[in-house]
């Protein structure tokens, strides 16, 4: 009976809270993207040397789905710089080697960003602010391996409330509420390793199947996932593809244009998730924590384009509930851009 009342209140809140001009919001985002593309295009025309570094930007947001949704994993913003290794240091079977640094923030709401009662918090509220360093190796056999070290924090130090409030004010969105229920501050370190490779490619080279496994161990995140991938279109080998973030080349290898669709299902086992359970070593983790669903199924579909120094991607992700008691499943869109120089 109580859950029914909460659901009725929830739907009413969503209708009121999301009564804003989404078209205006997306129009502003579109203008920013257009200016960015024009600036990168101008720089591309001026640059003639072999790229040795790469800048990447990505933004995840459920507003990209045009469904007036502002819930759960509601926003992610990431900036990274990657650099090739010295080609003389590559092993005989090694096609490429890249170092990278990423700074990012992920933001998590309950079913809405306008929460007034603690009973409405069906998914813990927090942001996750992190800095990561990665090392990627790609082989002529189209296998690849990556290791990542990451330090991150949840809670007030992750600046979720400040960032979300500034975004809503800048785009004249509804007033946010509920951050008084966010998780307590907790700092943690994680390490991750990923291994994958090509499984099949058709003779005409317009379709292939690859796969990877990934394991993470740490104080913020511990888990394991396995994911096959299917690409359709104009595709490059995995050691020269935007799909594996390997168009930046240690050797001065010629790079063909890419334009393809892809689908990647992923099964993820959750051992520990600080954004759901709070800091691992805290006694007082926050006003609301939840035990995660141990198995989460993700589906990701998207399109990628890459030519010379520029890469673009657009993707759609939907997945099962992170917490068994969440009101809804979740889905969001993602846009990204890369430039090699």
Beta bridge partners of 213: 195, 226
- What is the DSSP secondary-structure string of 132-159? EEEEEEEETTSEEEEEEEEEEEESGGG-
The per-residue DSSP string of 275-325 comes to HHH--TT-SS--S---PPPSEEEEEEEEEEEEETTEEEEEEEEEE--SSTT
Q: Over its length of 341 residues, how does the chain's per-residue pLDDT go in tens digits?
A: 444 433 333 334 434 444 444 445 445 555 555 555 555 554 544 445 689 999 999 999 998 988 877 899 999 999 999 999 999 899 999 999 999 999 999 999 999 999 999 999 999 999 999 999 999 999 999 999 999 999 999 999 999 999 999 988 988 888 999 999 999 999 999 999 999 999 999 999 999 999 999 999 999 999 999 999 999 999 999 999 999 999 999 988 889 999 999 999 999 999 999 999 999 999 999 999 999 999 999 999 999 999 999 999 999 999 999 999 999 999 999 999 999 99
Helices (H) and strands (E) in the chain, counts: 4, 12
Rg of the chain over CA atoms, in angstroms?
A: 21
pLDDT at 12: 41
37: its two tokens: 């593309």
Residue 237 and residue 227: Cα distance in Å, rounded? Answer: 18
Give the pLDDT confidence score for residue 13 in this predicted structure.
40
Give residue limits of the domains in the chain. Answer: 2-340
pLDDT value for 286 = 97
Could you tell me which CATH class the domain 2-340 is placed in? mainly beta
**Predicted local confidence at residue 55, as pLDDT:** 98
Residue 135 near residue 89 (C-beta atoms within 8 A): no
Structure-token pair, residue 285: 């983790």
Which pLDDT score, from 0 to 100, does residue 76 have?
Answer: 97
């Amino acid at each position: 009976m109580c859950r029914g009342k909460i659901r009725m209140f929830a739907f009413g809140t969503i209708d009121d809270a999301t009564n804003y001009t989404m078209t205006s919001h997306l129009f502003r985002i579109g203008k920013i993207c257009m200016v960015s593309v024009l600036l990168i295009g101008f720089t591309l025309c001026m640059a003639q040397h072999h790229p040795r570094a790469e800048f990447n930007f990505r933004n995840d947001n459920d507003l990209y789905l045009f469904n007036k949704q502002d819930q759960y994993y509601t926003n992610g913003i990431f900036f990274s710089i990657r650099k090739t290794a010295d080609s003389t240091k590559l092993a005989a079977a090694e096609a490429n080697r890249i170092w990278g640094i990423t700074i990012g923030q992920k933001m998590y709401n309950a079913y809405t960003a306008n929460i007034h009662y603690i009973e409405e918090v069906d998914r813990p509220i927090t942001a996750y602010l992190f800095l990561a360093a990665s090392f990627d190796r790609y082989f002529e056999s189209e296998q690849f391996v990556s290791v990542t070290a990451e330090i991150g924090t949840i809670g007030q130090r992750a600046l979720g409330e400040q960032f979300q409030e500034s975004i809503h004010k800048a785009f004249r969105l509804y007033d946010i509420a509920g951050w008084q229920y966010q998780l307590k501050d907790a700092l943690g370190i994680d390490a991750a390793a990923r291994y994958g490779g090509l499984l099949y490619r058709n003779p005409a080279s317009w379709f292939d199947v690859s796969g990877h496994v990934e394991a993470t161990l740490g104080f913020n995140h511990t888990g394991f996932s396995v994911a096959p991938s299917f690409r359709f279109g104009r595709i490059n080998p995995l050691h020269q593809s935007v799909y594996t973030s390997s168009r930046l080349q240690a050797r001065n290898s010629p790079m063909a244009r890419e334009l393809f669709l892809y689908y990647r299902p992923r099964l993820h086992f959750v051992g520990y998730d600080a954004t759901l359970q709070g800091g691992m070593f805290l006694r007082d983790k926050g006003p609301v924590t939840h035990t995660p669903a141990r198995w989460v199924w993700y589906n990701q579909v998207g399109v990628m384009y890459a030519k010379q120094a520029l890469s673009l991607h657009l993707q759609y992700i939907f997945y099962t509930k992170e917490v068994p008691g969440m009101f809804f499943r979740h889905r969001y869109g993602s846009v990204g851009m890369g430039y090699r120089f």
